[in-house]
Amino acid sequence: MSRSHLSANLQRLRHAAGLTQKDLALAANLPRATLASLEQGEANPRLDTLLAVAAALQVGLDELIAAPPKQRLYKVKVAEAREYRDDHGRYVSRLMSPIASRGVQIQRVTLAPRCGVAGRPHPRGSQEFFVVFAGEAVLEVDGEEVAVEAGSLVQFPGHLAHRYMNRGGVSAEGYSLVILSLEG
């Protein structure tokens, strides 16, 4: 952990939350002087101090101590995106989110006509959002079917058994956004 990263992140996150040092100190149950030392890069904090500050800011510990955002940008080029095919190539899922991203998966999904494929269940506590932007798909979640026409979105618990289908005569395209549970 770099103290300069902690210092810069703490200041950025505190300002983004609209908090003063005093407000954050109260929320974290820490002396204001401790926060001032952290922001000045002078402190050598214990783990429980960092966890209290992260909890008060409602961010993960990694957001508090990792390199500042301008050094953590990721660009996934089309040629670098991982692709998964099923149903004899009629279902294509391209992972658009960086492999290094934690907790989020974004996939562009293409369903050829008369295509059907089972989705992969995610950890309990995860949420999946499926939005169609062209054509019409059918999403089956835990035995219940819902038609998802262009412009519509369906949210469901990602750990449930689910299936993507296209019963029409034209391709359907959409995005699957999965917020993964990091707890279980």
**Domains of the chain with CATH codes:** 3-71 (1.10.260.40), 78-179 (2.60.120.10)
Look at residue 183 in the predicted model and tell me its pLDDT: 58
Q: How far apart are the C-alpha atoms of 1 and 182, rounded to whole Å?
A: 22
Q: Which residues of the chain have pLDDT under 50?
A: 184
Q: How far apart are the C-alpha atoms of 128 and 119, rounded to whole Å?
A: 11
Per residue in 125-151, pLDDT (tens digit) is 899 999 999 999 999 999 999 999 999
